[in-house]
Structure 1
Amino acid sequence: MRKLLICLPLFLLLNACISAPPGLEKSEFRVQNLRKLSPDDYACQCKEVRFGGKIIAATALQNKTKIEVLSLPIASFSAKPVLTSTSDGRFMAYLEGFVDPETLKDQYITVVGRLMGMEKGKIDEANYDYPLIQVQHYKRWKLVEEYYYDPDDWYDYWESRRFGGFFFFRPEPRLRYNLY
Structure 2
Amino acid sequence: MRSADLTRLTMKLAVLFAGALLLAACATIPEDLQPVPERQPTLAEVLQDPDAFEGADVIWGGVIASVSNMADGTRLEVVSRPLGRDKRPVSGDRSDGRFRAFFPGFLDPQVYTRLREVTVRGQVTGVTDDVVGAFPYTFPQVEAAAVHLWPPLPPEPPAFYRDPFWDPWGPWGPSRHPWRRGW
Please confirm whether the aligned pair reaches a TM-score higher than 0.5, indicating the same fold: yes
Distance in 2 separating the partners of 1:97 and 1:40: 29
After the TM superposition, which residues 1-180 of structure 1 pair with which residues of structure 2 at under 5 Å, given as runs? 2=11, 5-16=15-26, 18-25=27-34, 26-31=36-41, 33-37=42-46, 39-75=48-84, 77-106=85-114, 107-145=116-154, 157=166, 160=168, 168=170
Shift of the alpha carbon at 1:84? 2.5
Q: Secondary structure in 1 aligned to 2:33?
A: coil
Structure 1 10/137 Cα, relative in aligned 2: closer, same or farther at 3 Å? same
**What TM-score does the superposition give when structure 1 sets the normalisation length?**
0.73
Q: Which runs of 5+ in 2 are unaligned?
A: 1-9, 172-183
Contact 1:68 1:90 in 2 (8 A): yes
Cα deviation per residue 1:59-78 (whole Å; 9 max; x = unaligned)?
10012001100000111x20
Structure 1 84/38 Cα, relative in aligned 2: closer, same or farther at 3 Å? closer
Distance in 2 separating the partners of 1:93 and 1:78: 20
**What TM-score does the superposition give when structure 2 sets the normalisation length?**
0.72
Structure 1 73/147 Cα, relative in aligned 2: closer, same or farther at 3 Å? closer
More strand by share: 1
Contact 1:42 1:115 in 2 (8 A): no
Contact 2:129 2:139 in 1 (8 A): yes
Match of 1:177 in 2: none
Structure 1 147/123 Cα, relative in aligned 2: closer, same or farther at 3 Å? closer
Letter of the aligned partner of 2:18 in structure 1? Answer: L
Structure 1 123/146 Cα, relative in aligned 2: closer, same or farther at 3 Å? closer
Shift of the alpha carbon at 1:23? 3.5
Contact 1:42 1:118 in 2 (8 A): no
Q: CA RMSD in A?
A: 3.1
If you compute each CA radius of gyration, which structure gives the higher value, 1 or 2? Answer: 2
Contact 2:119 2:149 in 1 (8 A): yes
Distance in 2 separating the partners of 1:65 and 1:118: 17
Shift of the alpha carbon at 1:96? 1.4
Letter of the aligned partner of 1:103 in structure 2? Answer: V
Shift of the alpha carbon at 1:147? 5.8
Q: Which runs of 5+ in 1 are unaligned?
A: 161-165, 170-180
Percent identity for Structure 1 against Structure 2: 23
Shift of the alpha carbon at 1:104? 1.2
